[in-house]
Structure 1
Amino acid sequence: MRITLLALILIPLSAAFPARADLHITRDHGGYVEEYKAKYARIRDNRERVIIDGICNSACTLVFGIVPMNKICVTPRASVGFHQAYYDKAFTFGIKVTSSEGTSDLMSYYPDTVKDWIRRNGGLTTEMKKIKNGTELWKIVDPCPEEW
């Protein structure tokens, strides 16, 4: 293996500056809330950006309450969906059993712009309430600049 002078200079420099990686959300239907809280906390702490470029439903929407809003943007393909928290259907014999405590927890993370949209649209229910890209979504989060 041959090591050049340029490699000797670049190797220490690469260690000094952590790599930045954007999270590209294209088809995220949600999952376990605690996993999303941890994932988004890591993204926030690493000062990474989030690009919503497709579906971001359910627990995915916690991004709005954990990652700074100036680090999140939406593309023309973006849509987000909100609903009440519910227990894993694997443990409830396939029945959707809502959790008022879990729903309150979700709401506590959302910024006022999200809470206002949810209130204006009848609050959280068992049914998914979606916002597609456009002026309604842009009241919550900015469209992505072209360079993103």
Structure 2
Amino acid sequence: MRITPLALLSLFCVAAGPVRADLHITRDHGGYVEEYKARYARIRDRHERVIIDGICNSACTLVFGIVPMNKICVTPRASVGFHQAYYDKAFTFGIKVTSAEGTSDLMSYYPDAVKDWIRRNGGLTTEMKKLKNGEELWKIVDPCPDEW
């Protein structure tokens, strides 16, 4: 078989074409807020979709304030959890110390629907407040369509 320059060019174009790499969240308990901000900004800038298909807690929930809501959906297994921000335990001798500034920063990212749910449920506290799949979550984010 002979490979022509046109065939080689076609193969290159297919391989180098845009690839949709959806983020599929199944078990994310959070982490460093700045890392999540950067990750979600890349997803937003690439116009990728986010499928929440399990646990999305803590810093993971920043997805609601950074990625456009029409690019996010939830499956029946979705669960999101919110709490106050903490300082890195490496700097607090292993003790959980809340950060008013960090908590305010988190809240500043959330869309109004998320802020309203948090307020109706007593605001952000040290305890995780979980929002499981169902009507309350669907008021914030759409269920995933079958084609996702």
Instruction: Tell me the residue number matched to 2:130.
Output: 130
Output the CA distance in 2 between the equivalents of 1:87 and 1:3: 59
Evaluate the alpha carbon distance shift between residue 122 and residue 50 of structure 1 in structure 2; reply closer, same or farther with a 3 A threshold. same
Output the CA distance in 2 between the equivalents of 1:75 and 1:113: 19
Instruction: Tell me the residue number matched to 1:86.
Output: 86
Q: CA deviation at 1:13?
A: 4.4
Where 1:18 maps in the other structure, the secondary structure is: coil
Is residue 100 of structure 1 aligned with residue 89 of structure 2? Answer: no
Where 2:53 maps in the other structure, the secondary structure is: strand
Instruction: Tell me the residue number matched to 1:144.
Output: 144
Where 1:24 maps in the other structure, the secondary structure is: strand
Instruction: Tell me the residue number matched to 1:67.
Output: 67
Task: Give % identity.
Answer: 88
Where 2:56 maps in the other structure, the secondary structure is: strand
TM value normalised by structure 1: 0.93
Q: CA deviation at 1:2?
A: 6.5
Which letter maps to 1:145?
A: P
Is residue 21 of structure 1 aligned with residue 42 of structure 2? Answer: no
Evaluate the alpha carbon distance shift between residue 2 and residue 24 of structure 1 in structure 2; reply closer, same or farther with a 3 A threshold. farther
Q: Which runs of 5+ in 1 are unaligned?
A: none
Is residue 11 of structure 1 aligned with residue 12 of structure 2? Answer: yes
TM value normalised by structure 2: 0.93
Cα RMSD of the aligned pairs, angstroms, is 1.6
Alignment coverage as a number of residue pairs: 147
Q: CA deviation at 1:129?
A: 0.1
Question: 1:77-103: CA deviations, max 9, x gaps?
Answer: 000000000012232222210000000
Where 1:25 maps in the other structure, the secondary structure is: strand
Which letter maps to 2:119?
A: R
Evaluate the alpha carbon distance shift between residue 7 and residue 95 of structure 1 in structure 2; reply closer, same or farther with a 3 A threshold. same
Output the CA distance in 1 between the equivalents of 2:7 and 2:116: 54
Instruction: Tell me the residue number matched to 2:76.
Output: 76
